[in-house]
Copies of this chain bind each other. A is one copy, B any other.
Amino acid sequence: MSYTDLSTPIRTIMTPGPVEADPRVLRAMSTPVIGQFDPEFLKVMNETMALLRYSFQTDNHRTFPVDGTSRAGIEAVLCSIIEPGDKVLIPIFGRFGYLLTEIASRCGAEIHTLEKDWGEVFYPEEVKAEMKKVNPKVVAMVHGETSTGKMQPLKEIGQFCREQDALFVVDAVATLGGVEFKTDEWCIDAAIAGTQKCLAVPSGMAPLTYNDRVEELILERKDIERGLADDSANDRRIQSNYFDLSQIQDYWTTDRLNHHTEATSMLYALREGLRIIQEEGIEQRCERHQFHGEALMEGLKAMGLELFGNQENKMPVVTVIKVPEGIDEAQVRQTLINEFSIEIAGAFGPLKGNVWRIGSMGFSCRKSNILQVLSALEATLLYHGADINCGAALQAALAFYAEHK
């Protein structure tokens, strides 16, 4: 069998990720490879770390990507700090909260969860009350839940974690680079981002950051490991080699202690994505995401569609709408992708079949994409016999753009 030259279609990607990569990022990836011990490569690593600190809004020295997709970064943080029997509190308000539970559980954690109905987030008091009861070593939470389109305010919880001497770990995969995220100001001890969402970089790297409190713990485990004569019952080693942050952080220094072979082209991509963020300015970038997210909402509401869940804590970069009665949600998505080459997302778990999730992230978050998805969705819904307000979406969105220019 012979295989043709790669010829994938050009899509307008309006999902909660992976979204369109910035063309500058795609070009950066075709830069020739240099060796991992090449002095010029150290420069690329250092610049990427500095740019990441800016995006994470942190002074943390330990700020670098792990080579793997977002959940690789989450697992690297959790397995480097959780030891068997450690109490970990995970407040869950959507699918990715369960993922934290699943990963922490495999690290041997004693898991404590709080759960919210999908579409809601937590009041800080609820988390604080549970923390007083459980006294966890770690509190792990999702910032933006793409499964529900909701966003958890973190600052107050972070401050309380600091008071209680718990480590606060945040999954910022869907928010970093698109929504305000202040690692240091919000007292976040470790955070993990995703490249394939608001950073507009392809999937395959997990940028993360952690502070001295986390590093201290990791180094303590490393010291014990070094002193172990054999496998004792009190083996406190980090259970993964690939995700052992005590080793990876040594790779990301001038010592360059060999761990893995850095994913060169992905690093080129990440550096370029972060450079674009720095040029745009992180605050301006968050404003852009907020702005186009509102335009999208105006259009959807004008069409007569109903937004899902509590709007008070809506993620600006993911808009979740209910499927109109009598409409087959999968069929609508199929028409959109097959006829318009536009991708929106269905849903998971309890929401499956009942809502669509429309992303407006990174490079995909721009006026032409917002208007395209609104018009194509309107046309498709009409085509499938839905009872919506014909012509209202574009009018509302354009009015919004004219007013807020």
Contacts and interface: CB of A to CB of B under 8 A. Distances in A.
A403 interface: no
A238 B106 contact: yes
Interface residues of A, number: 78
Contacts of A239: 106-107, 239-240
Contacts of A6: 28, 31, 44, 268, 271-272
Interface string A80-111: 00000000000000000001001101110000
B28 A203 contact: no
Contact of A40 (B8, B103, B203): B8
A251 to B, nearest CB: 11
Total copies of the chain: 2
A199 to B, nearest CB: 12
B33 A20 contact: yes
A17 B35 CA distance: 7
Interface in A48-101: 50-51, 67-72, 75, 79, 99
A290 interface: no
A30 interface: yes
B106 A237 contact: yes
Contacts of A103: 241-242
A148 interface: no
Interface string A146-159: 00000000000000
Contacts of A70: 260-261
Nearest to A44: B8
A266 B243 CA distance: 20
A263 interface: yes
Nearest to A19: B33
Contact of A30 (B27, B50, B348): B27
A50 B1 CA distance: 9
A123 to B, nearest CB: 29
9 contacts: A3-B47, A3-B275, A8-B40, A10-B32, A29-B29, A30-B30, A69-B261, A71-B242, A203-B261
Given A6-B31, A18-B36, 4 more contacts: A6-B28, A67-B69, A69-B263, A75-B241
